[in-house]
Amino acid sequence: MKRTWIMLVAFIAFATSCKNETSINEDDASEVIEEHLVIEPEYETTTFHFGEMKFSGSKDQSDLDKYKELEDKGLIEMVLDEKKKVFLSKDTSYVYQIRLTEKAAPLVLDQDKDKATVKAITYILDDAKPVNFVKSNNKTAKATVSLKKVETEFYPFLNGKDSNSEFITKTYKLKLKKDKGWEVE
């Protein structure tokens, strides 16, 4: 009788421990998605031009201001090559040599001779919004989360940046892996 009792307790303990490995709740799903966003971040990109750039004093002043702001933040270096007063005009044209600095490297995804693809917006998990969580079976689940937009220094260069929201919603499919536990598929 005592041996049967010990075997029953051992079986219940084993069954409970197995159940805990396969169980997942909203907090766990949120944590799995956060880990996934560190490994594979969500972002929007834009093209950033550099090298020899010509600016007209009045027409391109807003663009020149964007570049100077990046220079102030240490992401680019600007060297004035040429400054010309336009004949019979109050306007002045500027020619700058612009180059990316090492500080810009984490935001640069691809780079050519005179342009680069850079991150303009990154997305992070919005902790204030709840996770909409649906468990399909013991090994799969779906979690819909809200991701907040975080603007990078290159955001002013993003075309069509007028957005109707400050967040996006995204659904992730979660799968239980034997060795690793829950992860985004």
Confidence label for 84 from pLDDT (cuts 50, 70 and 90): confident
Residues 94-105 pLDDT 10s: 899 999 999 999
97, HSE (Cβ side, Cα atoms, 13 Å): 3
Predicted confidence at residue 5, as pLDDT, reads 43
Compute the residue count for the chain.
185
Q: State the average pLDDT over residues 57-62.
A: 85
Check: CB of residue 44 under 8 Å from CB of residue 151: no
Confidence label for 161 from pLDDT (cuts 50, 70 and 90): low
Higher pLDDT, 32 or 5: 32
Q: Model's pTM, two decimal places?
A: 0.76
Q: CA–CA separation, 169 vs 30, rounded Å? A: 13
Q: CA–CA separation, 145 vs 142, rounded Å? A: 10
Residues 133-157 pLDDT 10s: 787 788 888 889 999 999 999 999 9
Confidence label for 42 from pLDDT (cuts 50, 70 and 90): very high
Assess whether pLDDT exceeds 70 at residue 10: no
Confidence label for 8 from pLDDT (cuts 50, 70 and 90): very low
